Amino acid sequence: MRINFFKHEWIETNIGLMLVLTMLAISVGGLVEIAPLFFIKKTVENVEGINVRPYTPLELRGRDIYVREGCYTCHSQMIRPFVDEKLRYGHYSLAAESQYDHPFQWGSKRTGPDLARVGGKYSNEWHVDHLIAPRSMVRQSVMPNYPWLMQLLDQSDIAGRMKALRAVGVPYSLTEAEREANVKKFGEQVAAQLHIADARKNLVDQANLGNYDSKPGVSEMDALVAYLQVLGTMVDFNKLDEDELVRAR
């Protein structure tokens, strides 16, 4: 049997046509699997009871260090809806929980454990000791040492980092009107943290109050541990209607 809808000689001898058809073929995956998610209402399942907030300035710096050190290459932040993952890591991750992450830190490889709900699981001291020398805490660990995290944090560009995220839709506020919108959405306390003009002060205040590394001064460790301790803690699943989450998929 011979099917001859077209001759591929046409394509092979016409580089322009080949270019167009190649681009069409490889864009199908994205168009079919990714693009519709931006239009489907329930993609980010902001059901009643979910009020995920953007990171505070200190947590944001921590996230940037997480990215800088390439933590995502070994740690995922995505608990899939499987029984074994639920038993080990906790409730499956929601799209709503990473709605302010740009880029998201879902990752695709687990050399180390998933970190989507690591917040509150260990003490600050444990994180500090473990990041400096992982094998001092977990003998069989293959994680590298990160002793340089104890260096002082560069705070000078925090406003710029927040402005960049604001440009892609994270509600950090520049104007008074934006700040008031945040007060309505997140409450006074969170809105204050999201105001770019106060970013540096907020960052230092949180680091001093939390003193995550038990040392004076604001270190990169302060920022990273503050970030790790907030992961997966923003949604109270006891107050959620789980059926709503099911219906969203």
Q: How far is the CB of 166 from another protein (least distance, A)?
A: 26
Residues 57-86 that bind another protein (CB under 8 A): 80-83, 86
User: Are the CB atoms for 160 and 199 separated by under 8 Å?
Assistant: no
Interface with another protein, residue 112, by CB under 8 A: no
Contacting range for another protein; rule: CB under 8 A; set: 6-14, 96-104, 194-202, 219-227 = 6-14
- Residue from 74, 104, 121, 192 binding another protein (CB under 8 A): 121
Q: How far is 116 from 209, CA to CA, in rounded Å?
A: 24
Taking only Cα atoms into account, the Rg of the chain, rounded to an integer number of angstroms, comes to: 22
68 burial type by CB count under 10 A (0-12 exposed, 13-18 middle, 19+ buried): exposed
Contacting range for another protein; rule: CB under 8 A; set: 14-22, 62-70, 122-130, 147-155 = 122-130
Beta strands in the chain (DSSP E): none
Alpha helices of 34-115 — where are they, by DSSP H?
A: 57-68, 83-89
Nearer to another protein, 71 or 191 (CB): 71
CB burial of 106-116 (b: ≥16 within 10 Å; e: otherwise) equals: bbeeeebebbb
How many residues touch another protein (CB under 8 A)? 43
Write out the residues near another protein by the rule CB under 8 A.
1-3, 8-9, 12-13, 36-37, 39-42, 80-83, 86, 88, 90, 92, 120-126, 129-130, 136-139, 214, 238, 242-243, 245-249
